Structure 1
């Protein structure tokens, strides 16, 4: 592997002179010397070490993304948007999975900073407030994605979850459903979960339907928890007419519970889910879902982070970009009662 020392010896100049030529600093180098060094560089097929260059410039052209849960297929489309945008703007991407664990999230963030990434996109667990405060105080480029970090001036890319839940609940109400259950993982400061409950309640209030707390089911975020909760609900004397699932992984368990309870969709039970997936269109009947612009969220997050990185004044802004959800009507809700 050719080194700067090899070039210096072949050209009969100092390493300092070679470095000046490589870095485009020609003020102290004669034209003849510059051309001689450049000719040697070309003949020896020398390629500058990217890591060494980045350390000198304190810039790596790499950004990191830390997601709370990579198992959710929603993130595949988001990552596609992030990666394509990074590549088009000359950046590489490092992907980390926090596995819903605040301690792992903290390790990833510190590890990315130790690896000198230029900025971080974070889908936060909402449990590392002090760490985020430190990043903001140090004017470190950061974007919050999908989940809001309350009380801090962090630029945020999110979807209007209140509107999404309102659209889903309103659709069911207009089809004549009144007893509508909503299943949500424990809110615990996680903004999309809180906002989807808010949108559900808002739709009921808008149409003059009393809120029944027994139909707001908080389900533990664990394997088969949603399935068991749904089975218990369906076995009761006053089961709901419709179920609104606020998470696509949760939807799979709810649908399994409905099938095992020998209840037909949509003639006995209406169903609305969240997020468009490949399987949501293939099940029979195809699901009615709230679609989030996942790819576009990724695009915007990467674009805005790189804009922050390239800005000379990296001052955090408490700006939230709310993107629009869309109700995609399938066959899982049935006709007007």
Structure 2
């Protein structure tokens, strides 16, 4: 806690006092002008957070300086999807002569905010971010200052910056259409909670629209929103215990697909003999499952490369004193057909 009067404008001296370091140390941390031990840097950042010194830290980070470094904030580094996205970003950065720094928000908006401020303090030229939510006030602040920023994989309403996404409506419509063509008419969908995250909302809406397009009604009992492996097993038991059992399952996340397979195995339900399974996100292991998994392939590498190229263009424009009109680039998913849904249509 601090006894600084609430109405007085905070200064760098306040940060130094809070952190127990010198003013010059705070200055060097904020301007990234010299080597600072990680522990000291963290003390200064903690002081900035405690004092809510964000506006000044933000102003520091928005100074036009050339560091030839880009920041990347991802939501889940354990998801293999992001490894392919990262390859695209790295290739574009290397070709343009940019260094890449990576942080993981773990889908935590508070951690995401700290990640952004860390990058701003290091005077990075721009940031690519897979947003953890729509409510981070730093997004609007960065956009207002024309700071080079690209949203990746997720949309944020009301913030006008370059955005690179996949067509999630088309992805789930491709999936449902494939299952319907195989004669499936009780298609369940498994999702993680939306929490304001656009792809999850868009995939659910695409599922509903696709059902309607094929003359099938949306049954709320077939929509399963789960958070944990235990939730997935409980939802599966509930689905399979009633009279209106599904004949197919659409998973909307590759990690969720593994949890679904584990639940089906626990319940001795065979794929595709007892139920068809279609996953979202093509990964290296999809073709090695038993049976090999039919999936919706997102253009992961292309998304990463496009995001980096858009950011590099924005950085170059800002250095010339120009403003680029923000655009949304939407890339197309494709269906990869294997054996997990049964008969392979020719």
Q: Give your verdict on TM over 0.5.
A: yes
Asked if residue 284 in structure 1 is aligned to residue 315 in structure 2, the reply is no
Task: Give 2:335's match in structure 1, choosing from 318, 327, 330.
Answer: 327
Q: What residue number does 1:24 align with?
A: none
Say if 1:106 and 1:128, in contact at 8 Å, map to a contact too: no
Cα shift at 1:85: 1.1
Aligned to 1:199: 206
Q: Which moved more, 1:125-134 or 1:244-253?
A: 125-134
The TM-score normalised by the length of structure 2 is 0.79
Cα gap change, 1:62 to 1:213, in 2 (>3 Å): same
Whether the aligned pair in 2 keeps the contact of 1:62 and 1:92 (CA below 8 Å) is yes
Q: CA 1:316 to 1:108, structure 2 compared with 1: closer, same or farther past 3 Å?
A: farther
- List per-residue Cα deviations over 1:166-192 (Å, max 9, x = no partner): 000110011000000001111121110
Question: Is residue 142 of structure 2 the alignment partner of residue 135 of structure 1?
Answer: yes
Shift of 1:232: 2.9
1:134-168 CA-to-partner distances (Å, cap 9, x unmatched) read 00011100000000011111110000000000000
Residue 260 of structure 2: which of 254, 260, 265 is its match? 254
2-structure distance, mates of 1:308, 1:224: 44
* Structure 2 partner of 1:293: 299
Report the equivalent of 1:304: 310
After superposition, give the CA deviation of every residue in 1:193-252 in whole Å (9 maximum; x if it has no partner): 0110111111111111111111111112x3443233223322333221100000000000
Residue 221 of structure 2 corresponds to 214
CA distance 1:240–1:144, change in 2 (3 Å): same
Partner of 2:12: none
Asked if structure 1 preserves the Cα contact closer than 8 Å seen for 2:149 and 2:311, the reply is: yes
Distance 1:290 1:57, change over 3 A: closer
After superposition, the Cα gap between the structure-2 partners of 1:206 and 1:149, relative to the gap in structure 1 and judged at 3 Å, is: same
Secondary structure in 1 aligned to 2:101? strand
Number of equivalent positions: 285
Shift of 1:70: 1.0
* Partner in structure 2 of residue 145 of structure 1: 152
Once residues 224 and 75 of structure 1 are traced to their aligned partners in structure 2, the CA distance between those partners, rounded to angstroms, is 25
Q: Could you say if the C-alpha distance between residues 314 and 145 of structure 1 is closer, same or farther in structure 2, counting changes exceeding 3 Å?
A: farther
Partners of 2:271 and 2:70 in 1: CA distance: 45
1:165 touches 1:199 (CA, 8 Å); kept in 2? yes
The residue aligned with 1:23 is: none
- Give the match for residue 95 of structure 1: 102
The residue number in structure 2 matching 1:315 is 323
Residues 109 and 136, structure 2, Cα contact 8 Å, conserved in 1: no
- The residue number in structure 2 matching 1:169 is 176
Distance of aligned partners of 1:117 and 1:319 in 2 relative to their CA distance in 1, 3 Å threshold:
same
* Stretch deviating more after TM superposition (132-141 or 229-238): 229-238
SS of the residue 1:278 aligns to: coil
Q: Counterparts of 1:149 and 1:180 in 2: how far apart (Å)?
A: 30
User: What SS is found at the alignment partner of 2:330?
Assistant: strand
Match of 2:251 among 230, 245, 265: 245
- Specify every segment of 5 or more residues in structure 2 that has no aligned partner in the other structure, as ranges: 1-31, 35-60
Q: What displacement does 1:335 show?
A: 2.3
Select the residue among 114, 124, 142 that pairs with 2:131.
124
TM-score (normalised: structure 1): 0.81
Q: Secondary structure at the match of 2:72?
A: strand
User: Between Structure 1 and Structure 2, whose CA radius of gyration is higher?
Assistant: 1
